[in-house]
Amino acid sequence: MYDLERIMACDSYKRKEIGFYPVLVDSLEKTNNKTLISIHFRLFKNKNEYFWQQMTGPVIFGFIKRHGEELLRSLNEEANVTAIIIRNSGSRIIFPVTYHTTFYILKNYSN
């Protein structure tokens, strides 16, 4: 299976307040005031479905706007696969957003 690394960035202040919602460095126009973090993802197969699992770095809570889609596309292109899910290091689905994702659960828990 594939192990791929991505350099991701997040706002340190927001991370302390709302959790870790990183973006790919390639998709950032500016990295000022951002913390850069190397995160490794590993490709797994469950039955007939591929998914990416976060292996290193702080636990990703989710992605804002298009960044989950960009990460999935980037990983799939490099590995030449068609995975449809990204899971964090705790095995929660973080992309695509469904009612099982950490983002959805935390959003509804805090309301």
Could you report the per-residue pLDDT of 37-95, keeping only the tens digit for each? 999 999 999 998 999 999 999 999 888 888 999 999 999 999 999 999 999 999 988 99
Burial class (CB in 10 A: 0-12, 13-18, 19+), 44: middle
Residue 15: pLDDT band with limits 50, 70, 90: low
Tell me the domain boundaries of the chain. Answer: 3-110
Residue from 58, 56, 59, 48 nearest 85 by CA: 48
Residue from 53, 78, 61, 73 nearest 22 by CA: 61
* Phi, psi angle pair for 63, to nearest 5°: -130, 150
Question: What's the residue count for the chain?
Answer: 111
Q: Which pLDDT score is estimated for 25? A: 83
16-29: average pLDDT: 74
Q: Which pTM was predicted?
A: 0.82
Q: Is the dihedral of CA 29, 32, 38, 42 positive or negative?
A: negative
